[in-house]
Structures are given as structure tokens and as C-alpha cells.
Amino acid sequence: MICKQRVLCLSGWAQNSESLTPVFNELNQNLEIINFDYSKYNQIDDLFFALKNLEISPDILCGWSLGGQLAIRLVATKILNPKLLILIAPPFQFVKSPAISAAMPESAFFEFRNSFAKSPDKTLKRFSILSLMNDKNAAELTSNLQITDENHQNLIFWLDELKRFSCHEIDFSNFPPTLLIQGAGDMVVHPNQAHLFKEKISDLKLEILSNTGHAPHLGNLEKVKEIIREFIDA
């Protein structure tokens, strides 16, 4: 009997926790997909404590956007020790600083945060459009992007955590083989940030997809599945 490989998925900010499931469906019959909803938590330590106590021990850890950054933190702190790490459009640092200019200006961040606090549903719809900008399939995909309108207060916490955290704080030594998929037209996370990860993670395969925005797995699903299949089977 062949044991199934566990794949733990962490979705993007404000996205449905199962939004990465299509990436792994029918990819390999020996994969068990586990979707973890971190938006239920409003403290980073509570999230880490919950995952540590669940003892999931995934073979493969996959994170999109904020979920990718959280996956990096979970590996760095050794809370999770996957054999493979898959990152989709992760922010190295979400908000601009003297150290990183290819990021969101602080003024734009606070404008978005204040808009979300006042009108979350409307702001989330605008965010979904921004996520799909520069994607060749944006027109067809806008209605399919899964947005949750629950846990608005928790989502503000995760926005603030995005602003606060930088992967400059991470020790990238001893990271597992890592695949990073980045859209060349990403309007949420600057595509140049992918190269910062390339400099830090010794065993990293970087795939930059043209005509693709912040959700490569939605805009170019079959290509993303092909890349991930090759990575897992290598």
C-alpha cells in the first residue's frame, strides 16, 4: 500500500481557505490535501500554537500570497518541516521601506486598510479585481475568485501583520527544496520580490509566468499544475 503525501495549503489574504484545492486535484492520486484557515486567528502565536498542536506534519507545504509568507515563517521556526515548499506570489515585504523599494507605498497601504475597515465587502471586490489585473484570463476569472466576507476584524489583524513583517527577519538556511511561482504582471506583490527569495533560498526553483497577475493558479491553472507536478516528481 502506497502512503499518501500530505499537502497543507494556506490561501491568500481574505481568500477562501480551499482556493488552492484545484491546483492539486487530479495532480497525483497519492496526495491528501489539507486546507487550513488561518483567518480564524487574530494572533500569530495562536496560529503557530494551533498548528503545532494539530501535529499535521505535511510532506508538502503550499502557500499563496500571505499564506506563502506564513508558510515561510512556519518552516523557519521549525513548527512545520515539509519535504517540499511551494510558494505562489509570496510577499518578501509587503510595504515599502528604505531596504525594499519594490513594494506597496505606506500611504497606499493605509488607504486600503481604512477603506476595508469602513466598507469591507466593497473593498474586497476591488481587491479581487486588482489580484487579477494583467492576467490574460482576467475577464473570465473575476467571478470565480473566491472571496470570504467573514472574520473582517481578524483580516485587519492579518493586514497589519503584512505591513509589520519582513522576510529579512527569516533565517533561510536549511530550507527544503522550494518552488516559487510568480506572475510577471502581479499588481499586489511586486514581481521583483521573487528574486529576493532566489538570493536567500539555496535550493529554489523560480518560475515567472508572463500574462499572469497575483493569482497564477487561477489565471494559468494547467501551466501551474504542470510546473508543480514536475517539481513534486523530480
CATH number, residue 87: 3.40.50.1820
Q: Are 41 and 50 in contact (CB under 8 A)?
A: yes
Looking at the chain, the whole-number percentage of residues with pLDDT higher than 90 is 77
Range of the domain at 165: 5-233
State the pLDDT at residue 160. Answer: 97
State the pLDDT at residue 26. Answer: 81
Looking at the chain, the whole-number percentage of residues with pLDDT higher than 70 is 96
How confident is the model over 68-72, as a mean pLDDT? 98
State the pLDDT at residue 2. Answer: 59
Q: Rounded to whole angstroms, how far apart are CA atoms 37 and 207?
A: 26
Cα 123 to the center of its chain, rounded Å: 20
Q: What's the angle, vertex CA 58, arms to CA 132 and CA 191, rounded to 5?
A: 30
Q: Rounded to whole angstroms, how far apart are CA atoms 69 and 130?
A: 19
Q: How many domains does the chain have?
A: 1
Q: Rounded to whole angstroms, how far apart are CA atoms 160 and 231?
A: 33
**Secondary element (H or E) of residue 146:** none
pLDDT tens digits, 150-198: 688 899 999 999 999 999 999 999 999 999 999 999 999 999 999 999 9
pLDDT tens digits, 100-159: 999 999 999 999 999 999 999 899 888 988 898 898 888 777 766 667 666 888 999 999
Please say if the pLDDT value at position 29 is more than 90. Answer: no
Please say if the pLDDT value at position 1 is more than 60. Answer: no
Model pTM score: 0.95
